[in-house]
Every structure is written in structure tokens, then in C-alpha cells.
Chain A
Amino acid sequence: MTFELLLQSMIIGLSLGSTYILMALGLTLMFGMMHIINFTHGAVYMLGAFVIYYGFGQWGLPYGVTFFLAMLLLGIFGFVIERCIYRPVHGGVEATLVALIAMTTLIQSLGYPIFGTLDKHVPTVFHGMYAILGVGISAERLMIIPVAVVLVVGLYLFINKTKMGAAMRAIEQDKEAAALQGVNVHLVNAMAFGVGFALAAASGALMAPIFKLDPMMGEQPLLKAFIIIILGGLGSVPGAILGGLILGQIDSIVATVLGLEPAFLLSFVFIILLLLFKPTGLFGHEV
């Protein structure tokens, strides 16, 4: 492997990792607060990409506007899911899980009659190549990185500097105590769903011009996000970021050297081994 190829793989890994992080942040946030694994996240990623397909690709809206539209619409969808699925099940971990799986298959199977069975493509948004240290990287992949950084910093400020963020952290520490202090737990949970879904939609919207679109496209990113949050420690935001960066590099470099499937397999083996020695992940704490 030459230096150029390695550098190119690392930059692509960074851009891949950025979209993984956007997926994983919502999952880890929701896990920290509600102790649920949100299986619907992959379907939301898919919906985010399809908003771009229709808004930008078909109706000719500007990409930026469609991007915000995707985040907004699916953020609202998050509120709806909290109200209609999470709340009626009364927080039963397993029942919520099965209900969310059901919701996921429902969205995916509705996708075929609505979007059609053929693969969809979104036209290129950012044209051209950039040369970094003599290595060519497509603008498409490079632009993902700053967008993801802005969203991650935005989430950090939201969690740490706003009242709603403080309420989220309070629920994460102790739900009952937070409720006794007057925190509206339902509203804040719904907010976590909304924020998580908006980030997943952003991830899908960023990837839409790069990959082909079909109703099942969210499954792989969902599994990646699972690996990341196990790696980083369930419920940990810094863990999700570090995990995403690591997995992005594994996926890009190992895939370049050995091929896609071995890279994917390696990440699962890595997780099983990690759990042997440190079951709570890199940043996790005992639950």
C-alpha cells in the first residue's frame, strides 16, 4: 500500500466516519436517556436520503434547503414516534424494541410501493476534485466532513448550554429525580427522538448523492452505528464520536486492502473481542 493510497483511504475514512457519527449520536443519546436501542434509525436515514431524492433531485429545490427540510421533517417524525410508539409501551425495554422493529419493517415495506422498486440516484451536488498533499479526493466526500463537524458542535452546544440539554442530562442521570424537579420527561424524551432522527436524516441526506437509494439502504449504516456505540460505550457522546472515527478508518483502510466484506467482518470480531475485556466499551459506565 502506497502512502498516497493510505492517505486517500484515511480521508475517505474520515468522511465515512462522519456520517457514522451522525447516526450513532442519536442512538447513544436515546440509549442514555431511555435505555432503548432505536432500530428505526436506519429507516430514518433512508427517509432522509429520499427527501433529498425528491426535493433536490426531482423538484429542483436547492440542496441546502432540502437538507434542512429533511432534518426538520424527520425531527417532527421523531416526536410522532415518541408519542405513538415509545410512550404507549410505558418504557418496557423489550416491548419498545419489538415495537420499533415493527415500525422499521413497516417504513421499509411501505418504501417499495411508494418509492418504486428500482434503485434511485441523486445527481452530484459538489462537483470536482480537491488535491490534498497530492492526493485527489472528490468534493462530494470531502464536503461531508465540515457539515458533520458543524452538526456535532451544534449538538454539543445544545446538550451543554441550553435548558433543554440540561434536562436531557438530568434524565440521563436519574429520570425520577428529574421529574420531581419539574422536568417534563415526556417532552424531553420526545426532543431526544427529534434530535436523534434529525441527525440520522442529515447522515442519509449527506450520503444520498454518493450511494444508490433503495428502501433497505439504512440497514448497513444502522449496524455500523450499533458497532460504534458498543465500541464507544452505550450512552456516551464522546464514545460515539471516537468510535465513529475508528470504524470509519477500519472500513476505509481495511476495505481498500482486503475488500468490503472482510472489513465488515473484522469490525464485528473486534466488538466481540472488546466485550471480552471491557464490556462497557471505551467510555461507557456500568448500567
Chain B
Amino acid sequence: MKSNMRTPVVLVAILLALLVFITVGGNYYAHLLALVFTNVILASSLRLSILCGQLNIGHSAFMSVGAYTSALLAKNLGLPFELSLLSGALLAMLVGLVMGYPSLRLRGVYFAMVTVAFVEAIRLIVQIWVSLTRGMSGLSGIPKPSLFGMLLATKTEQCYLALGLMVVVLLVLYKLEYSRLGLIWKSIGMADNLALSLGVNVASYKLLAFALGCFFAGIAGAFYAHFVRFLFPPTFDFLMATNILVYNYVGGRGHFWGPIVGAAFLSWLPEVFRGSEATRQYETIFFSITMLLTILFLPGGLITLPSKLADLFRRRPVGVAEPGSAAVTSG
């Protein structure tokens, strides 16, 4: 079928375009793109919780655990980047398991509010534990990332690494979402009582989704630490956690591509305002207005925009599935 061939071709084209852009874009765009890729990893890793119907507003806590673990292991013990990244991600997952186990018994808004407590608790621990993390002075002197003993010294090289990490993480997440496991998660998200009555161990599957999400957030955090090379506790605050959630909603939480589109769009958007000092303060204003308009007028997220526009032009009734988007999402 034609549409089955189209998706991979489009993806390869986007990937090639990104590679070309990183290569010719120079330091500024390499820096920006690497942060966009990090945000895409974060947003997509949160999607695992969203699949199970868990509203998680605490994801930045686990990014913080990954970032600090990897940075400290590399800086103090001289661990190679691959190992410190993996340790950061694993510790983030472990913390996720410990915190998730009691709180995943809660549902909906209760759970959402506990995750808010996670962010603050982790941030305060990092802030108070000055002897390890340097607290509010910030942790600096984090080594640059390296790969198989090869130091990635320039922003462009590090951006290739970010792209690579993002592609690998997204592939894993895609495989997960369209596996049997993903199906179980979706069934929990739609009707957890029904899933429970059919013999699904709802609590374990929710915990698995949550912990895996924390693992990937840890990866994003670890890369961030070695890329920006300065960690400051308030970076990983409640605001960042809400941003990760918002990427999912603005992009469209009903699709695998939703968080990716949302994170890419919203992380890129403020750049328009970076031009001068006068416009910089309007950056967040514009960001929040976009967020608000999307929620109010595009409840399905930006990902539904093409089909909505197509409906508008063809004057078809809204709600008829658009063949192109269906091919992308049905996998």
C-alpha cells in the first residue's frame, strides 16, 4: 500500500534534513536543536504514564536525578559518559520505583498532586545536600560527553549525539507502545476497572510504565548535564514538569507523534522572540497564549491541525478520519 511506504520515507527525509541542518547550522542551531531533542525525549517518556491514564506533573524530578547522578559520577569518579548516562537513567528509574510504588495506588488528581510533591522533594534534597551537589551555588565543571573514548568537543558533535539518543529512545518507545505491553497500558488508561476485572495486574503495569518513563527522563537529564555542563536545582522545578506535560497536550496526547510535535514546536517557538532584549519578555507570554489557544480550540492537539484544516477546506463534516494521519498513527 502506498500509505505504508510513505511514513518511513517521510521520517528518513526529516532525519536527513536534521542532519544537514546540524552540519551547516553552526553552534547556535546545534545548541538549540540539542535542547529540542532533549525536550522531545522528555515529552515522549512522559507519554508512557499518560497511556495508563496517570496525570504525572513530576517528570522533571527524575530528569534531575539522572542529570546529577551522571554529572557527579563523571566528574568525581571519572566514569565514561556511556556508563554515567546509564547509571543516571537507572537511578532515576529506581527513584521512580520507590516513589511510584506507594503513590500509584492513587488515581487521577490525587496522583497528580503527589507528583508535584516529588518535584519539590527532589529539588529540596538537591538544594540541601550541598556537600554533594553544591546546592544553590550550582554544579559546574561537568565533563563533555564522549563516545567510545572519543571526546565530543563541539556543539555540533554533541548535537549529533542528542539526535542519536532521541532516535533510539523514540524507536524503543514506539516498539513499546505498539507491543502487547502498550495495548495493556492503553486498556488501563481507558478503563482500569475493566482491565482489572479481566485479570490485568493494573498496579504492576502502571508502575512499569512509570518507572520506564523515569528511565528515559534520566537519559534526557544525563545528556543535558554533560551538554549544558552546569546544573542548578531550580532548573528542574515544577515549571519544567508542567512544561513536559504541556508538550504532550499541545502536541496531542492521543498520538505517538503528539509529544514530539508539541515539544519541537513549543521549544522552537520562543526563538522567534530571542532577537532583541525588548522582545525577550514576551517569550513566555506568547508561549502561554499558544498553549491556551491550543487547549481551547484544538482539543486534540496540534497533530490534529492538518486534518482540521483539510476538513475546513473540503467542507467535510468534522470527525471523518483523514487518511494521511491515520497511516502515521496506526503503525
Contacts of B102 in A (CB 8 A): 272, 275-276
Checking B109, B113, B284, B291 against A35 with a beta-carbon cut-off of 8 angstroms, the contacting residue is B109
| A265 contacts B121, C-beta separation under 8 Å | yes
Check B128 against A261 for contact (C-beta < 8 Å).
yes
Among B97-127, those with CB < 8 Å from A are 99, 102-103, 105-110, 112-114, 116-117, 120-121, 124-125, 127
Report the count of interface residues on B (CB-CB < 8 A). 40
Task: Enumerate chain A residues within 8 angstroms of B8, measured Cβ to Cβ.
Answer: none
Question: Taking beta carbons and an 8 Å cutoff, which residues of A are in contact with B?
Answer: 31, 35-37, 39, 85, 88-89, 92-95, 97-99, 101-103, 105-106, 108-110, 112-113, 219, 223, 226-227, 229-230, 234, 261-262, 264-265, 268-269, 271-272, 275-276, 279, 287
| Secondary structure of the A contact surface, majority rule | helix
Residue from the list B105, B107, B112 in contact with A97, Cβ < 8 A: B112
- A102-B121 Cα distance, complex, nearest whole Å: 24
Asked whether A101 and B106 contact (CB < 8 A) given A89-B295, A264-B120, the answer is no
Nearest neighbor of A103 in chain B, beta-carbon distance: B292
Interface of B (DSSP majority class): helix
Contacting residues, chain B, for A230 (C-beta < 8 A): 110, 113-114, 117
Structural contact, A265 and B106, CB atoms closer than 8 A = no
- Contact indicator A105/B291 (Cβ below 8 Å): yes
15 CB-based A-B contacts, threshold 8 Å: A36-B109, A88-B296, A93-B108, A99-B295, A101-B242, A105-B239, A105-B284, A105-B291, A108-B284, A109-B281, A109-B284, A223-B116, A265-B121, A265-B128, A279-B110
A221 nearest CB across to chain B (Å): 13
A/B pair count, beta carbons within 8 Å: 120
Question: In the docked arrangement, what's the CA distance between A269 and B103, Å?
Answer: 12
Contact of B227 with A by CB under 8 A: no
Contacts of B103 in A (CB 8 A): 272, 275
> Which A residues are CB-close (under 8 A) to B16?
none
B256 at the binding interface (Cβ < 8 Å)? no
Least distance between A20 CB and chain B CB atoms (Å): 15
Please give, as numbers and ranges, the residues of chain A lying within 8 Å of B120 by CB-CB distance. Answer: 223, 264-265, 268
CA distance A103 to B136 in the complex (A): 29
Instruction: List, in ascending order, chain B residues with CB within 8 A of A223's CB.
Output: 116, 120, 238
B292 touches A272 (CB 8 A): no
- Chain A residues, CB < 8 A from B125: 265
B128 to chain A: closest residue by CB: A261
- Answer yes or no: B287 CB below 8 A from chain A CBs: yes
Q: Collect the chain A residues with CB atoms within 8 Å of residue B128's CB.
A: 261-262, 265
Q: Which of B112, B113, B124, B295 contacts A95 (CB 8 A)?
A: B295
B249 interface hit (Cβ, 8 Å): yes
B47 nearest CB across to chain A (Å): 13
The answer for the CA separation of A93 and B117 in the assembled complex, in Å, is: 19
Closest to A220 in B: B120
A residues near B289, Cβ cutoff 8 Å? 106
A226 to B288, CA, bound (A): 22
Measured CA separation A272–B109 after assembly (Å): 15
Residue of A nearest to B107 (CB): A287
Chain A residues closer than 8 Å to B124, beta-carbon distance: 261-262, 264-265, 268
Docked complex Cα distance between A143 and B117 (Å)? 31
The answer to whether B245 has its CB under 8 Å from any CB of chain A is: yes
Additional 9 contacts, C-beta under 8 A, given A106-B289, A110-B285, A268-B117: A85-B296, A93-B109, A101-B246, A101-B291, A105-B291, A109-B283, A230-B117, A265-B124, A275-B102
Q: Is B282 an interface residue (CB 8 A)?
A: yes
A227 to B118 CA separation, bound complex (whole angstroms): 12
